[in-house]
Structure 1
Amino acid sequence: MGENVRLKEVRNEIEQKRKELNEIIVEGIDKEKIVTFSQELDVLINKYYFLKVEE
């Protein structure tokens, strides 16, 4: 059950990061920030899939 909760937490983090990334892109903030944010999102997605596989 704890893993299921962690999976939901990571999924929520991913959704929040995606929203923030979309806002950054729309606002036209510098490319370096977009790349950094995108990499952080990739890490969260990898963590999500790792937890999903362990389930």
Structure 2
Amino acid sequence: IEHIDLGCEVNNTNHHTLLNGVDRLIVRRGQPFTITLHLQPGTHFQNGENINFIAQT
């Protein structure tokens, strides 16, 4: 992974947490949010390969 875009401004707006700023991601439990993973050039996934994402509070 080259870069991760947490989409703080959009996600915080959608979760009504924008007043807390856009420097970090603040989402509400049980509501969907979007992050974008930017992979290094030449990286690709074959059918059946997964990326596991674990969120901890």
Q: Give the structure-2-normalised TM-score.
A: 0.26
More helix by share: 1
The structure with higher relative contact order (CA 8 Å, sep 6+) is: 1
Q: Between Structure 1 and Structure 2, whose CA radius of gyration is higher?
A: 2
More strand by share: 2
Q: Give the structure-1-normalised TM-score.
A: 0.26
